[in-house]
Amino acid sequence: MTRHGHECVFCRIARGEAEASLVHGDDLVTAFLDINPVTPGHVLVVPRRHVASLGELEDPEAARLMLVGRFVLGALRGGAVRCEGVNLFLADGEAAGQEVSHVHLHVFPRFAGDGFALHGDWSRFPPRAELDALAARLRATLP
Ligand code: AMP
Ligand code: ZN
């Protein structure tokens, strides 16, 4: 159950209780087509366990998520769909755009003129000292 008391849709898919177009399943993760694809072939890779944030996954689950993401990338590049490139995207937290509170890695084909864009302010190039100071603070909190 989610914190809202509703059964999580990705949990239901992982258990085979909700409709999904599966592309992969193993002991740790499952992968299926997104019902609202950015481009044809848009896949979601999700852990079987209900975990909201990537940071809460066990290492083997996180590793499998990326491994299967790579398999899917290979499949997309294999010719079944229009695919000139691939994006991997993961929204962690509501502020980051996460709508389903069960970890999911988006893997979707890209091609010229597909209309997908990530908007943001990419204009700033901070001084090296600022970057170094921030890197040091982050290093101090890494495992
Ligand atoms: P996000 O905005 O990163 O949380 O992405 C949630 C994604 O889940 C969206 O792309 C939805 O289209 C997708 N989605 C929601 N419900 C389902 C479902 N039942 N089957 C497949 N994809 C879903
Ligand atoms: Zn869930």
- Our answer to whether residue 104 is catalytic in this structure is yes
How far is 10 from 104, CA to CA, in rounded Å? 9
Question: Six-digit token pair at 88?
Answer: 């991997």
What is the model's pTM? 0.95
State if residue 101 touches ligand 1 by the CB under 6 angstroms criterion.
no
Instruction: Please tell me the predicted confidence (pLDDT) of residue 3.
Output: 52
Structural domains in the chain, sorted by start: 9-141 (3.30.428.10)
The pLDDT tens digits of the residues spanning 33-56 come to 999 999 999 999 999 999 999 999
How far is 60 from 88, CA to CA, in rounded Å? 19
State if residue 22 touches ligand 1 by the CB under 6 angstroms criterion.
no
**CA atoms in the 13 A half-sphere facing the CB of 48:** 12
Residue of 10, 19, 35, 46 to mutate, ligand 1, most atoms within 8 A of C-beta:
35
Q: Is the pLDDT of residue 102 over 90?
A: yes
Residue of 22, 87, 100 to mutate, ligand 1, most atoms within 8 A of C-beta:
100
The pLDDT tens digits of the residues spanning 8-19 come to 999 999 999 999
The pLDDT tens digits of the residues spanning 58-86 come to 999 999 999 999 999 999 999 999 999 99
Confirm if 102 and 53 have CB atoms less than 8 A apart. Answer: no
pLDDT band at 89 (very low <50, low <70, confident <90, very high): very high
Q: Which atom of ligand 1 is nearest to the CA of 98?
A: 4
Q: Work out the mean pLDDT of the chain and round it to a whole number.
A: 95
Instruction: Please tell me the predicted confidence (pLDDT) of residue 2.
Output: 56
pLDDT band at 142 (very low <50, low <70, confident <90, very high): very high
Q: How much distance in Å is there from the Cα of 49 to the middle of ligand 2?
A: 7
3-state secondary structure of 120: coil
State if residue 97 touches ligand 1 by the CB under 6 angstroms criterion.
yes
